[in-house]
Amino acid sequence: MSDACIPDKTLSALLDQALAGDRAQQVRRHLAGCAVCRRRLAALQQTDDMIRSLPAITPSAGFDAGFWEKVERLEARQARPAWIQALLGGWRPLLVATAAAAIVLAAIVFYPRTVPGPTMEELFMVDNMEMLDELELIQQLEMFEHWDDIQSMEEQG
């Protein structure tokens, strides 16, 4: 293949008759004198021939009937009264809205229950704190009980 040989992309376009007139002429002139490019073009042509030679399939026996059934179903859907179509057409958004509402409701109802309760350790701590408060209160009461003694001690001191 010489430097002036035709790029594959151009040969491919030539095969598809997609080259502008001048360019096509130029390529054909080159091909007339270049056996390498002629072989490359022939290989591309052969590729197309092989694709075209693949056996075609014919529609199966039930193809037409299956299609017309689908058309009938489509027609039946379109022939429904407008209110039914609206209802059927609107059932999806309605379902989504209902599901969303159910989720929100469930969250509201179940959220407090799902908050974990105090552990035994926490309950024990609370008990201790209550006991501590009670102890302080008792100490204060004892202080008031001996208030006169305390006062006289302060006066003497």
Dihedral sign computed on CA atoms, order 72, 76, 79, 85? negative
Whether 32 contacts 11, CB under 8 Å? no
> Torsion over CA of 90, 92, 94 and 96, rounded to 10 degrees?
-160
Terminal CA-CA length for the chain: 123
Residues 6+ apart with CB under 8 A from 103: none
Given 55, 81, 112, 157, the residue binding other proteins (CB under 8 A): 55
Given 50, 79, 82, 120, the residue binding other proteins (CB under 8 A): 50
Given 25, 28, 29, 70, the residue binding other proteins (CB under 8 A): 70
Min dist. Cβ of residue 122 to other proteins (A): 45
Applying CB under 8 A, what is the total number of residues that bind other proteins? 34
Contact string (CB under 8 A) for other proteins, positions 71-110, x = contact:
x--x------------------------------------
Whether 15 contacts 48, CB under 8 Å? yes
- Site of interaction with other proteins (CB under 8 A): 1, 8-9, 12-13, 16, 18, 36, 39-40, 42-44, 46-48, 50-60, 63-64, 66-67, 70-71, 74
